[in-house]
Amino acid sequence: MNNLLLFATSSPVRQAAMFILLLLTFSSFLVWLLTKILPQTDWKELTLRVRSWWIMATVFLVAVTVNRTLTLLFFALMSFWVLKEYITILDTRRADHRALFWAFLVIPIHYYFISINWYLMFLIFIPVYVFLFLPLRLVLTEKTEGFLSSAAKIQWGLMAFVFGLSHMAYLSIMPRIGGLPSSGQTLLIFLVIVTEMNDVFQYLWGKSLGRHKILPLVSPKKTSEGFWGGIITTSVLSLFLRFLTPFGVFETIFFAFCIAVAGFFGDVVMSAVKRDAGIKDFSNIIPGHGGALDRVDSLCYTAPIFFHLMAYFYY
């Protein structure tokens, strides 16, 4: 317990909390300023987004700093909820129900492997064993019409929303790097802040200056100005988060750049999923953001990429 309290009050975490507080305060001020400068523009969605960010940031900081059990439980529940949102939009068959039961049962098993630090099983359980098992379970129903579609959709959901997001959970239990104060938990905070900063700044730059659309048939609001403005702003501001990492200046910019680009890819892929399903948001649980999956879509890409870069270069 003493070690947990020490971490919760450690300097890097306090500084990260202060950085988030300042960033949210600045965002709130910026929204107020935009409403005064450009009153003809509808800023209601942005206002709701910032308000929701205050709540989400508080929940996230509590979940990842109190103790490891709470952190793993938080990410397991996140995986469960976003997989549920994804499954809800699918046109599933009655024959898929038992396979879906097993798909959700995968979540506690997978997170158990993380909790005991079984790295190899973490890497292969869903991509190998679950990949082989779920089609077999579908075959046992003897309903072949729609079989391939169901198997692909369920497995893709598990890969993106359970396996992909669970890299944040595994990152949270990684040890300190050498004699530095940086650990998996501080790197997790760095990853999430940079990912979400990129989402926010791509939205802001696109909303205010966006003219040239990148993928208009997939995500009409994505523009070149928003893309590059978000990446550059995020990369520069990430330097203020170096205290959470073992990185030098150029390393920080490099990793922030990788996170920003990966975040954009994750966002547009999930936009394609929504387009295919004929919906605007996965749900309406978070005012201004849509569903939980709408908020963590970028992390489905940034988490595994950042995790494996860290595993290769530092662990």
Once rounded to an integer, what is the mean pLDDT over residues 226-252?
92
With CA atoms as reference, report the closest residue to 297 among 83, 40, 48, 57.
Answer: 83
Instruction: Give pTM, 2 decimals.
Output: 0.87
Pairwise CA distance, residues 170 & 163, whole Å: 10
Residue 288 has a pLDDT of 59
Res 178 pLDDT > 60: yes
Alpha carbon distances (Å) from 57 to 81, 243, 270, 295: 18, 19, 22, 12
Residues 23-50 have a mean pLDDT of: 78
- What does the pLDDT read at residue 128? 96
Could you give the CA distance from residue 6 to residue 44 in angstroms, rounded to a whole number? 41
Average pLDDT, the chain: 87
Q: What is the pLDDT of residues 43-64, one digit of tens each?
A: 777 777 777 778 888 888 888 8
Q: What is the pLDDT of residues 109-133, one digit of tens each?
A: 999 999 999 999 999 999 999 999 9
- Of the given ranges (159-163, 202-206, 237-241, 243-247), which has the lowest mean pLDDT? 202-206
Residue 263 CB contacts under 8 Å (≥ 6 apart), including other chains:
195, 198, 199, 298, 299, 301, 302
- Res. 5: pLDDT tops 50: no
C-alpha 253: how far from chain center: 20
pLDDT at 2: 43
Domain locations in the chain? 2-313
Q: Which two tokens stand for residue 161?
A: 């929303």
Residue 10 pLDDT level (bands cut at 50, 70, 90): low
Residue 289 is predicted with a pLDDT of: 63
Average pLDDT over residues 226-237: 91
Q: What is the CA radius of gyration of the chain?
A: 20
pLDDT for 52 equals 78
Residue with tokens 């530092």: 314
The better pLDDT of the pair 78, 291 is held by: 78
Residues paired with residue 290 on neighbouring β-strands, in sequence order: 286
